[in-house]
């Protein structure tokens, strides 16, 4: 007979032996895993001191000493960002159209999905190392990296938006006797354009942040300047650069959310 006044939700794993066994197994594995990390407490104490030197540099950032390099680094990063975003977005358009199952025939679909998969599989930093080997140190490698990553990101999201459109709007345009290009221009584009512009602006600020990271492996921009200051143990300069990056990222994020809010 059921106790009608008491109820608790059924557990996710019904069998209690399996349930508590999994909890116990998880705890044992975690304890063993921490044991294999070989934590060197003496080294950790030394590192804390250096870490603190870096953190305390944020109290007295120094943007003056290396102002010229910092200025050049930022201008280079911004240029890389804009060029790479423009190129990546332009290339992602045909790829995204081809990767939409409701528009593209099977071979085109597979090709475009393949391009997207390759672009999205490799993290920016790996791609940057490859392009630095190919093009040498400098912003060209950075632009190539960011454009490459932008293609996968934008094309995938565009293709998914196209697959989610209201098919009857497209059907209505097809029924008028429109050509395939006209069907895309009238039946598809109006439905995905606002979000595509919003995503492009969003990608612009992702690319700026990434430009700081890939600079560390030699792909130009502010990341290269930042890396140099770390190597010289000039933590006050590094702090100034990081604060400036934070400021710019926040500004672009605010601007892009403003733009996206305006679109509907």
Partner 1 sequence: MLTIAGLTKRYAGKHAANSDLALDNVDLVVPKGQLMALIGPSGAGKSTLIRCVNRLVEPSAGRVVLDGSEVTGIGGGALRRARRRMGMIFQEYALVERLTVMENVLSGRLGYVGFWASWARRFPAADIAEAFRLLDRVGLLGLADKRADELSGGQRQRVGICRALIQNPGLLLVDEPTASLDPKTSRQIMRLLVELCAERDLAAIVNIHDVALAQMFVPRIVGLRAGRVVFDGAPDALTPDMLTTIYGEEDWSATIRPVDDDSGDDDA
Q: Report the interface residues with partner 1, using CB under 8 A.
A: 166, 168-169, 171-179, 181-182, 185-187, 190-191, 193-194
Q: Which is nearer to partner 1, 65 or 176 (CB)?
A: 176
Q: At what angle do helices 41-57 and 235-262 cross, to 10 degrees?
A: 70
Cβ at position 113, least distance to partner 1 in Å: 24
Q: Which is nearer to partner 1, 154 or 170 (CB)?
A: 170
Q: Which is nearer to partner 1, 163 or 171 (CB)?
A: 171
Concatenating the DSSP letter of every residue in the chain gives ---TT---PPPSS--HHHHHHHHHHHHHHHHHHHHTT---HHHHHHHHHHHHHHHHHTTS---STTHHHHHHHHHHHHHHHHHHHHHHHHHHHHHHHHT-TTTS-HHHHHHHHHHHHHHHHS-HHHHHHHHHHHH-SSHHHHHHHHHHHHHHHHHHHHHHHHHTS-HHHHHHHHHTT--HHHIIIIIIHHHHHHHHHHHHHHHHHHHHHHHHHHGGGT--SHHHHHHHHHHTT-HHHHHHHHHHHHHHHHHHHHHHHHHHHH--
Cβ at position 240, least distance to partner 1 in Å: 45
Cβ at position 181, least distance to partner 1 in Å: 5
Q: Which is nearer to partner 1, 192 or 239 (CB)?
A: 192
Q: Which is nearer to partner 1, 111 or 197 (CB)?
A: 197
Cβ at position 185, least distance to partner 1 in Å: 5
Cβ at position 195, least distance to partner 1 in Å: 11
Cβ at position 161, least distance to partner 1 in Å: 13
Q: Which is nearer to partner 1, 89 or 165 (CB)?
A: 165
Cβ at position 155, least distance to partner 1 in Å: 22
Q: Which is nearer to partner 1, 121 or 182 (CB)?
A: 182
């Amino acid at each position: 007979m059921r106790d009608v006044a008491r109820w608790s939700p059924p557990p996710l794993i019904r069998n209690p032996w399996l349930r508590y066994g999994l909890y116990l197994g998880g705890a044992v594995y975690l304890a063993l895993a921490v044991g294999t990390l070989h934590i060197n407490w003496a080294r950790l104490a030394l590192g804390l001191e250096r870490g603190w030197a870096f953190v305390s540099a944020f109290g007295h950032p120094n943007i003056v000493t290396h102002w010229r390099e910092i200025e050049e680094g930022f201008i280079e990063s911004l240029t890389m960002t804009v060029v790479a975003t423009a190129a990546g977005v332009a290339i992602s358009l045909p790829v995204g159209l081809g990767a939409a199952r409701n528009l593209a025939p099977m071979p085109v679909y597979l090709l475009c999905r393949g391009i997207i998969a390759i672009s999205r599989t490799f993290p920016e930093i790996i791609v940057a190392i490859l392009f630095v080997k190919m093009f040498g140190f400098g912003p060209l490698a950075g632009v190539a990296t960011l454009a490459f990553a932008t293609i996968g990101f934008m094309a995938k999201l565009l293709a998914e938006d196209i697959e989610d459109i209201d098919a009857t709007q497209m059907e209505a345009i097809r029924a008028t006797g429109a050509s395939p290009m006209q069907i895309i221009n009238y039946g598809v584009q109006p439905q995905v354009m606002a979000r595509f512009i919003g995503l492009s602006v969003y990608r612009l600020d992702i690319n700026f942040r990434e430009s700081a990271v890939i600079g560390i492996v030699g792909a130009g921009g502010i990341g290269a300047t930042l890396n140099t200051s770390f190597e010289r143990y000039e933590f006050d300069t590094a702090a100034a650069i990081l604060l400036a990056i934070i400021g710019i990222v926040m500004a672009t994020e605010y601007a892009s959310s403003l733009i996206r809010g305006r679109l509907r």
